[in-house]
Structure 1
């Protein structure tokens, strides 16, 4: 979908969007138009509705292959959900789920992690990090850091391999970048071999595309980004602190990264800007742009999601080769 020149202007035109993708976007907008706002009905009620598959996202069945363990975090226990391939894994994928730091859970994307386990040969370890607004920053990042520290020390004994990759979607992409920076700066660890950063949010002070997206309910609107940010970040926090907005960090000694983003995503600037800064810091990075892809598009059926997921699987597989 992205070709040799990811900045080909044709990728951003209306003509580049397939009829199938346009139809999927229309269905998403229709499914969300009557959906209540989580800040109106309460986050607990909204989480329950989402867990039942209400709203735009397809309900993800729970994997019978999954197992859960608990590790020590910073003053708390952190649950890890593990889905492994048959036989010996080729590596370990530390996965961090999305949901605006407010929604989602480690058990809500089992089919995706099964796919990665089987296609890339990775043991997938998804973090059940604490959610805002009950547990605002730095609780979530602290839990993800604890998971990364545990894997750096225990992956070989637990999975038979210490080939580590990291990644996530949306807020999970943000937390993956924050975790990489914390591991480098706090623990002197730069052993992750790849970063799968899928429509991540990297600037909590809001990029132009975040501000300009408007009110169209195509998964993520400007007001959603604002409300998620308010829930996650206490008012006194500097939104351009690198631990909050990794776009503003010194990005040296980062692993090769794949940035995946759709052109109908409010977070498109985040991936465009972060990809450029990643490379400018001397790291390897790929940018995959998908015409018409909405925020979260890889969760919906269709050729666009299939292409993106295939590229993600190949990236992760090659990262541990």
Structure 2
């Protein structure tokens, strides 16, 4: 599937009835991309207009954009789920101001190209803490197995997420909770989260493992396709100003998937959850997606949003203007406004889903 798409710059697009390709494209204006790159990254990378990008990243490149502290109302618990042979470490974020009443759970998967990253990264730790603080959602950040030297190949990480999902469902059933259940992730974690959603949808359709499909999906700058073809014509005009280590070229993506799957071709369906037609996405939960203006992987979120729309899934898509892939790893900070805007966007989507589920439960109760 090849699609030329366009996104409203720095705005949320509600993909209800309008195709992505019909939207006004402000991210490919033909001007110097340097002028649109957030000043924080311009300075951090020491970029200059019309200059050749540096070959390496500066030593302070990943220093936080500002000071971030754990919100006052959030508690953090380290826990291991499963037995000794199938143990999965998680970090649990709870809102202590809720008095033990929890009306939503979010499973969250960090990024890192399937080989790096952890629950300590800001896109996991700070994001989960902020979403818990703002919505009361219990967030479960999963320290899934990473692929190294041919070990923990696909589907090891996906299996870890499935085990944690089963544990979450068990907790809600044990406590007779009527809750909103959600799955999300960033970058490669967005891939894993989408794959888990597809697996649960397929299982429900085929009468397999009887675990519920989540009520919602959240993806931050995820990669859902194999990226071996141009999904959005001319998008590399934005990213060409970036240093090589920040580029996700087709070869980089091919190598990433080869390390994850163990081979360079014939990737399993759930390893590239967007490589399918709309019929295979039927039943996918309502979704909120974020993509970045200066990210080679952004077209994957754009096309995935359009695929979901065609499958009948309500989708909200936000273009984070001026920022790089992984921008949530610089911590929520006013020096990098898109970090705060992204958190607000995800929190608002979560609140919408909680309220939607509450209305549906009231309607069911009234009918009964």
TM-score higher than 0.5: yes
Q: 1:81 is matched with which residue?
A: 91
Distance 1:255 1:263 in 2: 25
**RCO (CA 8 Å, sep 6+): is it higher in 1 or 2?**
2
Q: Which runs of structure 2 are paired with 1:19-58 in the superposition (5 Å)?
A: 21-30=37-46, 34-35=56-57, 55-56=61-62, 58=64
Q: 1:205 to 1:248 in 2, by over 3 A?
A: same
Q: 1:161 to 1:233 in 2, by over 3 A?
A: same
C-alpha deviation, 1:218, in angstroms: 6.7
| Structure having the higher Rg | 2
Q: 1:157 to 1:303 in 2, by over 3 A?
A: same
Q: 2:24 is matched with which residue?
A: 8
Q: 1:307 to 1:18 in 2, by over 3 A?
A: farther
State the Cα RMSD in Å: 3.3
C-alpha deviation, 1:54, in angstroms: 6.5
> Runs in 1 of length 4+ with deviation above 6 angstroms?
14-20, 59-62
Q: 1:265 is matched with which residue?
A: 295
C-alpha deviation, 1:221, in angstroms: 3.1
TM-score by length of 1: 0.82
- 1:244 and 2:271 equivalent? yes
Q: Which runs of structure 2 are paired with 1:224-303 in the superposition (5 Å)?
A: 224-235=252-263, 238-239=266-267, 241-249=268-276, 250-300=280-330, 301=333, 302-303=336-337
Match of residue 107, structure 1, among 99, 111, 120:
120
Distance 1:220 1:279 in 2: 28
Equivalent residues of 1:170, 1:199 under 8 A apart: yes
Q: Secondary structure at the match of 1:9?
A: coil
The number of equivalent residue pairs is 304
Q: 1:166 is matched with which residue?
A: 183
C-alpha deviation, 1:209, in angstroms: 5.7
Distance 1:23 1:14 in 2: 19
Distance 2:163 2:325 in 1: 28
Q: 2:243 is matched with which residue?
A: 216
Distance 1:202 1:74 in 2: 32
Distance 1:290 1:23 in 2: 14
Query: For structure 1, which runs of at least 5 residues remain unmatched after alignment?
Result: 37-52
Match of residue 72, structure 1, among 78, 82, 87:
82
Q: 1:181 is matched with which residue?
A: 198
Q: Secondary structure at the match of 2:319?
A: strand
Distance 2:60 2:92 in 1: 25
